[in-house]
């Protein structure tokens, strides 16, 4: 039995990188997936690629759809959620995956630059969750939200605005887990009426955010990878595997957690020191 058979998932930022890997993974496990993204050409290509790979989801003539969704605009978010529910007639899983970072130093980060990163990363996540909540609360067996946070939200990795926004996402998951858990909702013995909220905190993951900076970006990515216990950057599929677990009923008693998926970066510098001593 596929874990997401008969279920529908919306993945924001699902056209590229980690979001695309999550979209493909959920579709391969039986979900009907909706890619909500600002890059509609890439979202349409991503949906086509999945439709070629995967048989249609239950109650749908396709496995994957693309919808326009700019998480910085409330109206666009609400339309994207409405279109998702119209296409799939339900919404069980939300992967809130958009995050925007920049290399601007803190001293040069004016209010506009701060907003450019924190609005999509933190406020955007909250807009999508707020719009999706009424539908997630109706999901049989409970709804699930998985946010793509970052190790930046757990430890100092640079990028104050982005990191603070990711830390905000991590804390929001804890509060929302309590507010929308079955206990607070009075639905402990019901078939639906609660939502689990969890996050993954990826470390350096091989996506275009590194590779589009050419050789320098590739070198930075490998150097960050060498700081980890596993000694390499992660792949989008490795993040998607953790997202799929947290979104699935296998994680039915897990809510409010942030799972680092970082090759051991967040355990601290010991692995790096030992590797430097030994090599
Ligand atoms: N790649 C890494 O090393 C890494 C590490 C930790 C956390 N993350 C987080 O993982 C998530 C995905 O990152 P990625 O590396 O796959 O990036 P990516 O650039 O490959 O993909 C991001 C996706 O988000 C979309 N997007 C951007 N702004 C949007 C908006 N306003 N509304 C809707 N969609 C929008 C883009 O079009 C793209 O499809 C982000 O939240 C990022 O912060 C990435």
The pLDDT tens digits along the chain (279 residues) read 799 999 999 999 999 999 999 999 999 999 999 999 999 999 999 999 999 998 776 556 789 999 999 999 999 999 999 999 999 999 999 999 999 999 999 999 999 999 999 999 999 999 999 999 999 999 999 999 999 999 999 999 999 999 999 999 999 999 999 999 999 999 999 999 999 999 999 999 999 999 999 999 999 999 999 999 999 999 999 999 999 999 999 999 999 999 999 999 999 989 889 998 876
Q: Residue 62 has what pLDDT? A: 86
Among candidate residues 2, 166, 174, 180, the one labeled active-site is: 166
H-helix or E-strand spanning residue 11 = strand 8-12
Residue 20, Cβ neighbours under 10 Å: how many?
25
In a domain, 244, yes or no: yes
In a domain? residue 27? yes
Q: Considering 65, 162, 174, 180, which one is annotated as catalytic?
A: 162
Q: Which residue has the tokens 């792949």?
A: 235
Q: Which of 17, 25, 150 to mutate to test the pocket of ligand 1 (most atoms within 8 A of CB)?
A: 17
**Which of 114, 132, 113 minimizes the C-alpha distance to 12?**
132
Domains of the chain: total? 1
Distance CA(116)–CA(179), nearest Å, equals 29
Tell me how far apart the alpha carbons of residues 279 and 245 are, in angstroms, rounded to a whole number. Answer: 36
Scan for tokens 């003539």, then name that residue. 61
Name which of 193, 198, 191 is nearest 177 in CA terms: 198
Residue 1's pLDDT is what?
79
Residues with Cβ < 8 Å from 217, sequence gap 6 or more? 209, 210, 211
> Phi and psi of 187, rounded to 5°?
-125, 25
CA gap 73, 71 in Å, rounded: 5
pLDDT at 115: 98
DSSP string, 251-279: GTT--S-EEEESTTGGG-THHHHHHHHH-
- Pairing relationship of beta strands 195-202 and 258-261 according to DSSP bridges: parallel
Give strand pairing partners of 197. Answer: 145
> Which domain CATH number covers 73?
3.40.50.720
Residue nearest to atom 15 of ligand 1 (CA): 207
Q: Is residue 277 part of a domain?
A: no
Question: What is the number of residues in the chain?
Answer: 279
Q: How far is residue 232 from each of residues 21, 51, 200, 271, measured CA to CA in Å?
A: 19, 32, 18, 12
| Domain membership flag for residue 22 | yes
| Structural domain span for residue 92 | 8-206+235-267
Q: With beta carbons less than 8 A apart as the criterion, state whether 130 and 41 touch.
A: no
**Ligand 1 centroid to 13 CA: how many Å?**
6
Kindly give the pairing relationship between strand 32-37 and strand 8-12.
parallel
Q: Is residue 272 part of a domain?
A: no
Residue 60's contacts (CB-CB under 8 Å, 6 or more residues apart) are 8, 32, 87, 88
Nearest atom within ligand 1 for CA of residue 15 = 39
Q: Is 217 within the bounds of a domain? A: no
Tokens of 179: 């507010």
Query: Does the residue 54 lie in any domain?
Result: yes
pLDDT at residue 261 in the model: 98
Q: Which helix (H) or strand (E) holds 35?
A: strand 32-37
pLDDT at 59: 58
183's tokens: 């206990």
pTM confidence score:
0.97
Among 45, 46, 98, residue to substitute to test ligand 1 (most atoms within 8 Å of Cβ) = 98
pLDDT of residue 279: 64
Q: Which protein residues touch ligand 1 with a CB less than 6 Å away? A: 12-13, 15-19, 37-39, 69-72, 97-100, 120, 124, 148, 150, 202, 204-205, 207-209
């Amino acid at each position: 039995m596929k874990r997401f058979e008969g279920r529908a998932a919306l993945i924001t930022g699902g056209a590229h990188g980690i979001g695309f890997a999550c979209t493909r993974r959920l579709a391969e496990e039986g979900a009907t997936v909706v890619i909500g993204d600002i890059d509609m050409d890439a979202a349409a290509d991503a949906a086509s690629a999945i439709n070629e790979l995967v048989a249609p989801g239950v109650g749908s003539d396709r496995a994957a759809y693309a919808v326009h969704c700019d998480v910085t605009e409330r109206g666009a978010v609400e339309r994207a959620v409405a279109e998702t529910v119209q296409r799939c007639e339900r919404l069980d899983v939300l992967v809130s995956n958009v995050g925007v970072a920049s290399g601007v130093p803190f001293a040069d980060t004016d209010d506009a630059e701060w907003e450019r990163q924190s609005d999509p990363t933190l406020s955007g996540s909250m807009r999508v969750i707020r719009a999706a909540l009424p539908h997630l609360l109706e999901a049989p067996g409970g709804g699930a939200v998985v946010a793509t946070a970052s190790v930046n939200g757990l430890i100092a990795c640079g990028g104050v605005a982005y990191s603070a926004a990711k830390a905000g996402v991590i804390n929001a998951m804890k509060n929302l887990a309590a507010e929308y858990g079955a206990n607070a909702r009075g639905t402990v013995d019901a078939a639906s009426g609660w939502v689990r909220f969890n996050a993954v905190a990826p470390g350096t993951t091989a996506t275009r955010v590194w590779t589009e900076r050419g050789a320098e970006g590739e070198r930075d990515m490998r150097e960050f990878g060498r700081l980890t216990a596993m000694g390499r950057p992660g792949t989008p599929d490795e993040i998607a595997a953790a997202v799929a677990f947290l979104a699935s009923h296998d994680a039915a008693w897990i809510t409010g957690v942030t799972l680092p998926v970082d090759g051991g970066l967040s355990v601290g510098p010991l692995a790096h020191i030992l590797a430097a001593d030994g090599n």
